[in-house]
Amino acid sequence: MFTGIITDVGEIVGLERRGDLRARIATAYDVATIDIGASIACDGCCLTVVATGETPRGWFAVDVSAESLARTTIGDWQIGRRVNLERALRVGDELGGHIVSGHVDGVAEIVAMRAEGDSTRYTFRAPAALAGFIAPKGSVALNGTSLTVNEVEGAEFGVNIIPHTREVTTWGAARVGDRVNLEIDTLARYVARLAEWGRRG
Residue 146: how many CB atoms within 10 A of its CB? 24
CATH architecture of the domain with residue range 106-200: Beta Barrel (2.40)
What Cα–Cα distance (Å) separates residue 174 from each residue in 23, 50, 120, 178, 181?
A: 22, 29, 11, 7, 13
Q: Does the pTM of the predicted model rise above 0.95?
A: no
Q: Which CATH class is domain 8-87?
A: mainly beta
Angle, alpha carbons 4-164-178 (nearest 5°):
65
Hey, do 8-87 and 106-200 end up sharing a CATH topology, with the first three levels equal?
Answer: yes
Give yes or no for residue 78 having a pLDDT over 70.
yes
The model's pLDDT over 86-112, given as tens digits with 9 standing for 90+, comes to 999 876 666 777 889 999 999 999 999
Angle, alpha carbons 27-110-155 (nearest 5°):
125
The domain segmentation of the chain, as residue ranges, is 8-87, 106-200
The model's pLDDT over 15-25, given as tens digits with 9 standing for 90+, comes to 998 889 999 99
**Mean pLDDT of the region 36-42:** 98
Phi/psi of residue 47, each to 5°? -125, 150
